[in-house]
Structure 1
Amino acid sequence: MSTDSYERHTQLLPASAVLAPISLLPLVTFRADDAADLIRSIGSLVALGGVHLIVMRVVRDRGNAIQQRLWASWGGNTTVRMMRWSAGSAADMRLLRARVEERTGIKLPSPRAEQRDAVAADAVYERAAGLLREATRDHERYPRVWSELKHYGAARYMLGLRPAALVIAASVAVLSAGLLWLSIAGTWQTGCWPFLVAGLFAFVAGLLWAAVVTPEYVRTASERYSDALLRSAGN
């Protein structure tokens, strides 16, 4: 799969998740009871589809920006960190590094060399990681690497959009509550249930974004991808 295809794949889920509360409200409000309602529903879907495409571009920019901040807070690129001598026992690291060296043809720094110049050592690890990424582009041969890469990409993009997602969910919840009140009061000539469903959905979505989509959530996905990438050196 090409880079553009990967980007579209990992951005579509976060973009759809962010806009889900907005998507649900018009769909449950404009029910297809007759031809006019059906036309409005289709129009809403078409309009939202265009918005999704715009949001996908924002997703990419936000995700790439937040990745650099996350790496800085974690002490570097996850794959690089997992190749440092401090990442595991001496025996485990010797085995891992032997496999990486055999697969990439790059001589990795010794413990003394890494301690003497950590920046130079990380540069070597990054080159080795880059070669591993290039060597695992066959998704059928390395399905776990591809699967973990997609999960990490989606998690990173979702964290980048978390502030917008919380604002949207809160806005839809408040709007739905207002429309529900108008419906109960008889001012809005529509049943109560569409606004109740949309409001509850937006509220739950906001809770999930706040509780689940955190830097630790992305870190776990990143470590799983790096583990899969490094283990591919033994295949």
Structure 2
Amino acid sequence: MNNPLDAYTMKARLVPAVIAGAPAFAFAAIFVSWGSLGVTHLIVATALTVLFAAFADIARRRGKAIEPKLIERMGGLPTTTTLRHRDDTYDDDTRAGFHAFIAAKLGKPAPTASEEAADPAAVDSYYARGATWLRENTRDAKKFDILLNENISYGFRRNLLGLKLPGFVLNALIVAICLAIFWRRWPVDLSNTFDAKLLAVVVIAVLHAIYLAVFVTEAGVFEGAKTYARQLLLCTQSPHLSGAPKPCSTAARMPARRGGAKTEAKIQEQ
């Protein structure tokens, strides 16, 4: 994408909103005649465009609203926590490479393990400044396209999680309305197109609720956040970040973790 803002808005904000509102869109569609195009369809298309823009903003707001609690449950932003000496995400040599790069950019030596133990809050602030420098200098979508994609992935997961509860409420409302219509039209005739479509909406709402319950989880957001952090730090190896000392050669390796080594993934984030 030439415009990263458009890519992010479409994939990380609008798509979660559309997914969360899918049963409502399906319900509304059965009341629109699709036999021929006319002024009504133009009005509907215009209204949907406006609604989609509003839904995208709602998705962002909901995602931002739940983010502080998510960060708290992760023990802090992964871009900060994985730089700590006491964190075992990276081996010592890899972490030292990241520290050396950040120190050169901030113009201040990286904290030692003893300094971190003595004042963890101040050291976390140092790591956060380093991560901020990296984010601000890796916004070029052409140079850091994989990074942008992973940022979109995290934003999508976070925003969809933020819409999970409203999605459940919307599903319940749609099912209740459909059942009320069935009750008014009883006995139901599934050979009738309207009744068949209404039943399809109920099925969509139920399957949608199952999807939200099973696949939209905090664990998925945590995974996206950690992938973001890992690739952001790996950007210290990028030739596009000129003027910085080359971090140690081990910085590009996937870190060793407890329980076994992990294979390297080609991931980048912004």
- For Structure 1 versus Structure 2, the TM-score category normalised by the shorter chain is 0.7 to 0.9
Q: Which runs of 5+ in 2 are unaligned?
A: 239-270
Aligned to 1:202: 205
TM (normalized to structure 2)?
A: 0.75
- Rounded Cα–Cα distance in structure 2 between residues aligned with 1:180 and 1:212: 30
Aligned to 2:96: 94
Deviation for aligned residue 1:102: 4.5
In structure 1, which of residues 151, 154, 160 is the aligned counterpart of residue 153 of structure 2?
151
Q: What number of residue pairs does the alignment pair up?
A: 233
Q: How big is each residue's C-alpha offset from its partner over 1:21-56, in whole Å with a ceiling of 9 and x where there is no partner?
A: 111122234342356xx6655544443433333233
Aligned to 1:216: 219
Aligned to 2:53: 53
- Rounded Cα–Cα distance in structure 2 between residues aligned with 1:6 and 1:112: 43
User: Does residue 1:64 correspond to 2:67, yes or no?
Assistant: no
Query: Does the CA contact (< 8 Å) of 1:19 and 1:52 recur in 2?
Result: no
Aligned to 2:82: 82
Give aligned-pair identity as a percent. Answer: 23
**After superposition, where does 1:58-207 map in structure 2 within 5 Å?**
58-88=58-88, 89-102=91-104, 105-180=107-182, 182=184, 185=187, 190-207=193-210
- Structure with more helix by fraction: 1
Q: What is the SS of the residue equivalent to 2:111?
A: coil
Deviation for aligned residue 1:123: 0.5
Q: How big is each residue's C-alpha offset from its partner over 1:83-128, in whole Å with a ceiling of 9 and x where there is no partner?
A: 1112223233223323444565553211111111000000000110
**Which residue identity lines up with residue 227 of structure 1 in the other structure?**
R
Decide which moves more: 59-68 or 127-136: 59-68
User: Does residue 1:8 correspond to 2:13, yes or no?
Assistant: no
Shift of the 213–198 alpha-carbon distance from structure 1 to 2, 3 Å rule, reads same
Query: Does the CA contact (< 8 Å) of 1:27 and 1:44 recur in 2?
Result: no
- Rounded Cα–Cα distance in structure 1 between residues aligned with 2:228 and 2:209: 27
Q: What is the SS of the residue equivalent to 2:139?
A: coil
Q: Which runs of 5+ in 1 are unaligned?
A: none
- Rounded Cα–Cα distance in structure 1 between residues aligned with 2:84 and 2:162: 28
Deviation for aligned residue 1:185: 1.5
- Rounded Cα–Cα distance in structure 2 between residues aligned with 1:216 and 1:8: 23
TM (normalized to structure 1)?
A: 0.86
Runs ≥4 residues deviating over 6 A: none
Deviation for aligned residue 1:65: 1.9
- Rounded Cα–Cα distance in structure 1 between residues aligned with 2:185 and 2:108: 69
Computed over aligned residues only, the root mean square deviation of the Cα atoms, in angstroms, reads 2.7
Shift of the 29–21 alpha-carbon distance from structure 1 to 2, 3 Å rule, reads same
Shift of the 6–163 alpha-carbon distance from structure 1 to 2, 3 Å rule, reads same
